Amino acid sequence: MLITKGDLFHQEAKVRQSGLADLFRRIEIVSEKDPATYARLLEEFGVPARNFLMVGNSLRSDVLPVLALGGHAVYICAKAFMPHIPESNYPGQALSVYGFLEGGVRSCEIGPILRGRDAKTGKDKPGLDLVRLAIPRRVYTMNHMRHVADTFVSLKQRSAGLNGMKFVKEAPRLRHFSSTFDWA
């Protein structure tokens, strides 16, 4: 199921243009993404919250309401989280590091560092800049999830003062594993 929020015609057009429509049995366009909306949809489809995983880009409307119901959410859009950091300063890498420093939360950047550079231009390949939280499904409790959420809520509240990162040493291959970074 795909759940999106906004104007019906605009959201339908976005889904159609994305090419994702055929991958979902149902597409729900809602006016609000809050615990009540998610609870209604989960009940309608007979899905227990503990079996529901939200992949989203908004801490406020995708992650926190799902966690409040006992569901799971694991991706954060770094560009939306820290819009003041230019892509060239790798907001996803920075957010991943801040999550670990702030709360010991392990994560990894799924963005330009992982994608690498275009061989012809030498520029980072374009695309989303996400942070994937490394949360093993079978070994955490809701207290663990609350700690993760609290960590990123705290970071978001002071995100305007957070810095991006730069390469100190860029590995020619597998740069997401072997490179060295510093604050930009």
Over residues 128-147, the pLDDT tens digits come to: 898 988 765 556 676 777 78
Please tell me the total number of residues recorded for the chain in this structure: 184
Share of the chain above pLDDT 90, in %: 49
87 and 116 within one domain: yes
173 and 98 within one domain: yes
Q: Is the pTM of this model over 0.85?
A: no
139 and 48 within one domain: no
- For the ranges 39-48, 131-140, 143-152, the lowest mean pLDDT is seen at 131-140
116 and 69 within one domain: no
Q: pLDDT band at 181, cuts 50/70/90?
A: very high
Domain holding 87, by residue range, is: 78-184
43 and 103 within one domain: no
Cα(116)–Cα(112) distance, rounded to whole angstroms? Answer: 6
Name the token pair of 174. 């597998």
The winner for highest mean pLDDT among 70-79, 136-145, 172-181 is 172-181
90 and 176 within one domain: yes
174 and 115 within one domain: yes
Name the token pair of 89. 């300063």
Cα(37)–Cα(66) distance, rounded to whole angstroms? Answer: 10
174 and 95 within one domain: yes
90 and 58 within one domain: no
10-17 average pLDDT score: 87
